[in-house]
Chains A and B, each alone.
Chain A
């Protein structure tokens, strides 16, 4: 659609440079300098993307980032379906994150599962003044009465908790003894760290300290097999973990735990029995995988289940950790789905070939989905992370091309300007960005919630991914954004 397609590498790099210079001009000088470190163009031969990351957002700029609470309650803990997760503090945080992440699960909500409920201590002024520990103790008792089948409780700290000096650890210890179920305090107050990312880490540590350390002899009855694996870092958004699990089972593995989409406390506890941890969202769960490697000697492997090319190599990579039976199983699975994948590509590639995409998401997606787009003949020309670290940007170099525009912790202002100039055929980002770009006439898909679709993982998911990108880009509405008389 734009001349950029035909442009040379040098032209694109020059354009990117100019573009970055232009947006930086809008900032007061001190902040232009700070933002400059987060924007760049990938140079094909470099080991990283050349941007700084995991640094405080600058005030007043409309960062797209969330907070540590979002990383813990929203990402890691919230999906554990048979526990009650208390948003501890005022009503807001829990309300806005209620049911918004589409972590699918099976269960009778309110009876044996609690995923789409909002539990809060609904702090009032007196709780701030006098502390909330008493209230916390009481509400734990109330959960026991009203939800007898709940398997445990996590306490997700909101901003005030860490500021008023509450001792939620002491309450948790005492109460856990009382009720005989795990009670996990999580210090994920929103002001900690610079984004969701520290919340992931804190949540991982809470599992280490308050679940693994207290499992005791619960695993004595556990019957292992040589093929036990745990899925780590799949939140079952739109059912992603299920469309992944099915492939692992088909190749002969036994999935003993899902972290944390459709997960349970029993699965968390059983994970140290796994022979291999397979890690999808590296950013949010590498901490606990590394811990299990050190403590329990469980190796781990990263994988990518977006698009047939990456699925195929991931299945082989996973299988390489097992015997021939599993290796053959992987080949069988790959062969079984080949015709479906070919049919999907035959149908959608002609409609999507050559289309240019800009991404801005969290966790693993700014790199992981690139292969799926390429399977459809599309090209990712810009990408960035909400809360990535340096190791994410290093991993990204395996996916992106020379000249890719890189933006870390992009601000609303920068993102709009970039899209205006680069003129992609599709933007993939979040709900806060969706309507902005659609108004600009640019097709858009939410790449956190799958825009209420999904799953996108696995072979079944790729068909949906392809269909959805086609829906977005080839909707007839994009031809009607200009009035014929204007």
Chain B
């Protein structure tokens, strides 16, 4: 018997024990009607071929292992970045259970969000009553300063009108007439979580700038010297926003982060649960209209939001999740240009340190081939960084990337000799990527936790960068933006490269290069 009180073993070791191994094998043989091993081996090898890849790419209807989620997830993400704001998703309650779980699995933090719990009767009669009761209950129980409403696909399919419903709820006294209830329609069958982020952010900005749903006069913009900053849907939001704030403070820039999620997903364990923490104040959000300009760190998360802001009279700058030296240079130079504040020597020194680190280590990365998958902006940022490291991006894939994204990645690749052998795939999924990793092998794969299935199947080592990261802890606490963030990414890549060199080494067999100095 393998289990013992002295040394308790769990699933990781228990099921490798012979008594379990033979039991599972017998089950398979006697009851599962499993295909013969030779047949499994044949099909497995076949899935590695170009022939299989062609069939795989001929798919028109089936989506397998996509690297994208649905709109309301992004809406919830955007909403929790505002002071004492409770996200409220109108529609079926199951979806909300999923968003909360999904975000908590990544951040290892609670995520508060309510649902209007629509059921079959609401499907027939519409969800007005659910909105009326839901707002009243949410307001009474959780005492938010603002409730940000979005929708699940149920509410979208039956065509519930949020604007009218919220008005109706206010008339019935669910929340005070002047209580802030911005909203966004977030149909899950359009775009992805980054679209939902955009819609929700736009809904909130519009609410505060355009007269709070007709309850007050539209704000007259009186331009000042401040800038606005939007991070977008970002798995590193805690570390990144803190880093960005530090950079702004160092430069002496006056700024407003729209959607500051850095505190709510990083509250202390000290005996108190803070359902709300930090976040952009509602006052700052309203005043953000007067800013000189708005910088978005992720273009594809903020397309509609930025166009609204541009219409309000501000300059808008859209970046693509800048990572590394050039990307950070561009970000800071834009900040400097817009605000007139010079980039101080201390930041120039940080830049120098990142360049120093790259110069020290780049020999280990130069010429290495990489496949990258993830959200559109993240892919762009990572490609640019890899190019400046002398690495060779070989495959770039974004399930929620479109034509415009594809063109942008190609332009970036075309501008570098290191990008010439790279292929770009918009709208493809991770089963497509599986084929590509067999037919166009690379040295390393960059992507979210879902990439671990690809690592297992194709043997390509995975460097975890993206969202979600479920199976490694606390990654989100470290920035990937700014020179400091670039350094973190560099170290992550290097650690994996060195770990791979030392992996599977057996004394006397293949340990000639088992060096202690590199």
Chain A residues within CB distance 8 Å of chain B = 26-28, 31, 56-70, 82, 86, 89-93, 95-98, 100, 104, 106-112, 116-125, 127-128, 135-136, 138-139, 142-143, 145-146, 148-149, 151, 158-160, 162-164, 190-194, 196, 238-239, 242-243, 245-246, 249, 255-258, 262, 264-267, 270, 336-337, 340, 343-344, 346-348, 411-413, 416, 430-441, 453-455, 459-460, 463-464, 466-467, 477, 481-483
Is there an interface contact between A67 and B94, defined as CB atoms closer than 8 Å?
yes
Question: Which residues of B from 390 to 415 have beta carbons under 8 Å from A?
Answer: none
How far apart sit A433 and B60, CA to CA, in the bound complex (Å)?
Answer: 40
Contact B66 A412 (CB under 8 A): no
Establish whether residues B137 and A59, one from each chain, have CB atoms under 8 Å apart when the complex forms.
yes
Give the chain A neighbours of B100 by CB distance below 8 A.
432
Asked if B31 and A119 make an inter-chain contact with CB atoms under 8 angstroms apart, the answer reads no
**Bound: A106/B27 CA distance, A:** 10
Please indicate the chain B residues that have their CB under 8 angstroms from the CB of A438 in the complex: 269
B85 within 8 A of A: no
Closest B residue by C-beta to A344: B5
Q: Is the CB of B270 within 8 A of A346?
A: no
Selected from A146, A239, A267, A435, the residue in CB contact (under 8 A) with B31 is A267
* Interface residue? B56 (CB, 8 A): yes
Given contact pairs A116-B453, A481-B271, A59 touches B115 in the complex (Cβ within 8 A): yes
Cβ contact within 8 Å between A91 and B97: no
Report whether B153 and A89 are in contact in the complex, using a CB–CB cutoff of 8 Å: yes
A60 B35 Cβ-Cβ under 8 A = no
A138 to B52, CA, bound (A): 18
The residue from B27, B34, B138, B158 contacting A163, defined by CB atoms under 8 A apart: B158
Given A93-B98, A264-B32, do A238 and B118 touch, yes or no (CB 8 Å)? no
Q: Which residue of B lies closest to A128 (CB)?
A: B189
Q: Contact at B11–A481, with CB atoms within 8 Å?
A: no
CA distance A64 to B100 in the complex (A): 10
| Pair B190/A69 contact, Cβ less than 8 Å | no
B360 lies within 8 A of chain A by Cβ? no
**CB-contacts of B286-345 with A (<8 A):** none
Q: Are B98 and A97 in contact, with the CB atoms below 8 A? A: yes
What's the minimum C-beta distance from A420 to chain B, rounded to whole angstroms?
Answer: 9
In the bound complex, what is the Cα–Cα distance between A266 and B29 (angstroms)? 12
Q: Measured between C-beta atoms, what is the minimum distance from A424 to chain B in Å?
A: 15
For the A-B complex with A96-B101, A163-B154 known, give 12 more contacts whose Cβ atoms are closer than 8 Å: A59-B134, A60-B115, A120-B66, A160-B189, A191-B118, A264-B31, A348-B5, A439-B269, A439-B272, A441-B269, A454-B10, A463-B3
Interface pair A482/B5, CB less than 8 Å apart: no
On whether the beta carbons of B104 and A435 are closer than 8 Å, the reply is yes
A64's closest neighbor in chain B, by CB?
B97
A339 to chain B, nearest CB (A): 9
Question: Once the chains are docked, how many angstroms separate the CA of A58 from the CA of B47?
Answer: 49
Within 8 A of A (CB), among B23-40: 23-24, 27-28, 31-35, 39-40
B493 close to chain A: CB less than 8 A? no
B43 touches A111 (CB 8 A): yes
Contact (Cβ within 8 A) B157 A128: yes
> Are B47's CB and A111's CB within 8 A?
yes
Query: Provided the pairs A60-B135, A60-B138 are in contact, do residues A90 and B153 lie with their beta carbons within 8 angstroms?
Result: yes
Chain A proximity of B248: nearest CB distance (Å): 29
Rounded to whole angstroms, the CA-CA distance of A90 and B189 in the bound complex is 5
Q: How far is the CB of B25 from chain A (nearest CB, A)?
A: 8
- Asked if residues B61 and A142 are in contact (CB atoms below 8 Å), the reply is yes
- B contacts, CB < 8 Å to A: 1-6, 8-11, 14-15, 19-20, 23-24, 27-28, 31-35, 39-40, 43-44, 47, 52, 55-56, 59-66, 68-73, 88, 91-95, 97-102, 104-105, 108-120, 122-123, 130-131, 133-142, 152-154, 157-158, 187-190, 192, 267-274, 431, 434, 450, 453, 457
Whether the pair A93, B23 counts as a contact (CB closer than 8 A) is no
Bound Cα distance A56, B93 (Å): 10
Q: A246 contacts which chain B residues (CB < 8 A)?
A: 19-20, 23
The answer to whether B133 touches A117 (Cβ under 8 A) is: no
Contact A118 B64 (CB under 8 A): yes
Closest-by-CB residue of B relative to A124 is B189
What is the CA–CA distance of A26 and B62 in the complex, to the nearest angstrom?
A: 47
A340-B5, A346-B5, A435-B108 are contacts. A151–B33 as well, Cβ < 8 Å? yes
List, in ascending order, chain A residues with CB within 8 A of B52's CB: 146
Cβ of B273: which chain A residues have Cβ within 8 Å of it?
416, 436-437, 439-440
Chain A nearest CB from B209 CB (Å) reads 27
C-alpha spacing A267/B116, complex, angstroms: 40
Nearest opposing residue in chain B for A102, CB measure: B11
A268 to B470, CA, bound (A): 32
A119-B64 contact, Cβ under 8 Å, with A66-B97, A245-B23? yes
Report yes or no: A242 in contact with B15, Cβ–Cβ below 8 A: yes
Cβ–Cβ contact B97 & A158, under 8 A: no
Given A119-B62, A122-B63, are A256 and B31 neighbors across the interface (CB < 8 Å)? yes
CB of B116 within 8 A of CB of A59, answer yes
**Complex: chain B residue closest to A249, CB-CB:** B23
Closest 10 CB pairs of A and B: A67-B94, A92-B70, A60-B134, A59-B134, A96-B98, A343-B5, A266-B33, A60-B137, A90-B188, A139-B61
